[in-house]
Structure 1
Amino acid sequence: MNDAGAGRAASEESLLEAFSRFLSLQRGLSVHTVRAYVADVTQLLDHLAGRQPADDVPALAGLDLATLRAWLADQQRRGMSRATLARRSAAVRTFCTWAYRGGHLAEDVGLRLRSPRPDRHLPAVLAVDDAARLLETARQRADDDDPVHLRDWAALELLYATGTRISELVGVDVPDVDLRERTVRVTGKGDKERVVPLGVPAAGALETWLARGRPALAGPASGRAMFLGARGGRVDPRTLRGVLHRLTAVAGVHDLAPHGLRHTAATHLLAGGSDLRTVQEVLGHASLATTQRYTHVTPERLLAAYNQAHPRA
């Protein structure tokens, strides 16, 4: 790479680092979202570099609305999912607005960029009996008092009881859980905190984990983290994802990821008679429209509510 090419690469790296800091510090986005947005913008910059053979061309030269549309259309032709395209559209719109306000672009070229609507298909959920079978399998596995098995049981009970995201679950600290009141404080998207109730089985599993499992794994790196890995640090989300996949296989129920257990919890809350506002608060959705996606899963409940409430049902 010549000096001009090295200078351009350094300019792009500096731009991406500044954008990453903006997303983290000013927008308060999660580490996962920041990483995804920066990766999306990196691909856009690579696309621009391919259209500008000269190494001394500025990183954002040639960026306009037509280029953005062509970049997204090319990815759609390659079979990119609508959800990924929607996220990448959001990432580049955010980037263009940031770059314009920072003087890196002469105009906000992403302002009129329209993104495809993401697929609204919900992941598969477990029936109530299957969810109970999964958790009973985790409980029986923990009968050997292996601290890792005790952790897995408590983590899955808490996931199902609260409908938290896996990132929220691994971020829980010991003081965040109030076993007497049976509540847990979690930090969601945008660093927003909420307090979520949990049931008796989850509280029991957590109590057992805190008494017999966590002390066996705790070490200098544990801090206040509720759920620990085998080496004593805060457990990695990927570890618990693997645990869930293995336990669904052992229990003989439909395989699902942690987000599927979150959807399962929401579906069962609605089926049990909970109102949408309550479920919205439990799940930490910013918009009620997001929570309403679950209503089609329980048409019997909605019909029963309609028949009971409407004067001409």
Structure 2
Amino acid sequence: MARLRGRRWQGDVTTADGKRLRPTFATEEAAMQWEEAARDAVLLGKPIPKALDMPRAEAARDLSQLGVLYDFVCKSEWDAMRAAADLKRNGLHVVEYFGRNKDVREIQMPDIADLKTHFAKRGNSTATINRKCAALSKMLHVAVEASVLAKVPKIRRNVEVKTRFRYIDETEERAIMAYWNARGWTDYADLTTLLVDTGARCFSEMVAAHWDAFGPHNASVTFWTTKTNQPRTVPITKRSREILARRRGLHGHNAGPFTMMRKGTMAVRWDAMQETLGLHDVTPHTLRHTCCTRLILGGVDVKRVMEWMGHSNLTTTMRYMQIRPDALQAALQVLERAQA
């Protein structure tokens, strides 16, 4: 029975081998006509008619080519998402591996296994490879909805092994600050300090923050647009307040203290810093890990750390507890007293 999904009508037919087809149409009449024709085809053992009215079947022949399918998914699915850049980049890597003219009907489990091996040899982490596979899965699901594919081949998610969070110690922090200041790149020195002291995500939170996000006397900052879609407010340290006061005097005409900074320029200068100091595994996000780690090591209650960092669940915060070897010491002392 056709049903309304958003602004489109969805047909629903199950094939003889148990596969469920649910294309969408502009009108209820078109959806019902397709359902009737499809059910007749199932009963007679004939091919299911193509759902030519589907927006995603705008030339099913074209969508059978991976490059065209990728372009379509970018426009119809990913462009409206917050992580659009990452989604499209991972999808593009898949397209570059197979080639734009690759027929998506030819992509099977062995090909996906080869894809994983290829990116693993290039040094991609398990998490990164999983994201590339997720992008491929999305494209293939769209191909199914467009009646190009009968079903998506099984794509197994690799187990992501928990690893130690990289954070910088005070010696590394001083080295980074000395590097920025020696080259006169004070913007980066200031940003580094604010990221360490607030635990903010670099571009989506701190660089994007406008002056009105900072409280009276720069005592706090509210990040309105976050990964979890939940605004959060954190207090600001004395040294960071002093930096903000200075930057307000210098850059008060800008939208925010760091809104003038650009990803491209930062990437080049950050790479140079990594190479010079040998800190190849230190990224801007490492500074967020550093803030969380320092809170944990300082004995701050894990629930307060969760609130500070804006984690959506306690499990995420608890992963940082591995760096605190004395976390269970109090529990041990309880047992020691019981045995005395």
Asked whether 1:153 is paired with 2:189, we answer yes
Asked whether 1:86 is paired with 2:130, we answer yes
Pairwise CA distance, 1:270 = 0.5
Gaps of 5+ in 2: 1-60
SS in 2 for 1:299: coil
Correspondence 1:31-110 to 2 at 5 A: 31-43=84-96, 45-46=98-99, 49=102, 59-76=103-120, 80-109=124-153
Pairwise CA distance, 1:67 = 3.3
Gaps of 5+ in 1: 1-6, 50-58, 229-233
- The structure having more radius of gyration, on CA atoms, is 2
Asked whether 1:20 is paired with 2:46, we answer no
Are the aligned partners of 1:47 and 1:71 in contact in 2 as well (CA < 8 Å)? no
Pairwise CA distance, 1:298 = 1.4
Pairwise CA distance, 1:246 = 6.4
Deviation readout 1:143-191 (Å, 9 max, x if unpaired) = x9x7x52x33331221011112222222222222224441231523365
Please name the residue that 1:296 is paired with.
Answer: 322
Higher relative contact order (CA 8 A, sep 6+): 1
Q: Which of 288, 293, 303 is equivalent to 1:277?
A: 303
Pairwise CA distance, 1:271 = 0.7
Are the aligned partners of 1:177 and 1:185 in contact in 2 as well (CA < 8 Å)? no
Equivalent pairs: percent with the same residue? Answer: 20
Single out whichever of 252-261 and 266-275 deviates more from structure 2: 252-261
CA RMSD in angstroms comes to 3.8
Alpha-carbon distance in structure 1 between the residues aligned to 2:63 and 2:151:
23
Are the aligned partners of 2:70 and 2:92 in contact in 1 as well (CA < 8 Å)? no
Single out whichever of 302-311 and 274-283 deviates more from structure 2: 302-311
Pairwise CA distance, 1:236 = 1.6
Asked whether 1:122 is paired with 2:164, we answer yes
SS in 1 for 2:106: coil
* TM-score, normalised via structure 2 length: 0.65
* TM-score, normalised via structure 1 length: 0.70
Are the aligned partners of 2:165 and 2:320 in contact in 1 as well (CA < 8 Å)? no
User: In the superposition, relative to structure 1, how do residues 269 and 98 fare at CA in structure 2: closer, same or farther (>3 Å)?
Assistant: farther
Alpha-carbon distance in structure 1 between the residues aligned to 2:230 and 2:115:
34
What amino acid is the match of 2:289?
H
Correspondence 1:3-14 to 2 at 5 A: 12-14=66-68
Higher helix share: 1
User: In the superposition, relative to structure 1, how do residues 70 and 166 fare at CA in structure 2: closer, same or farther (>3 Å)?
Assistant: same
What amino acid is the match of 1:294?
Y
Pairwise CA distance, 1:42 = 1.5
SS in 2 for 1:125: coil
Are the aligned partners of 1:134 and 1:247 in contact in 2 as well (CA < 8 Å)? no
Pairwise CA distance, 1:287 = 4.1
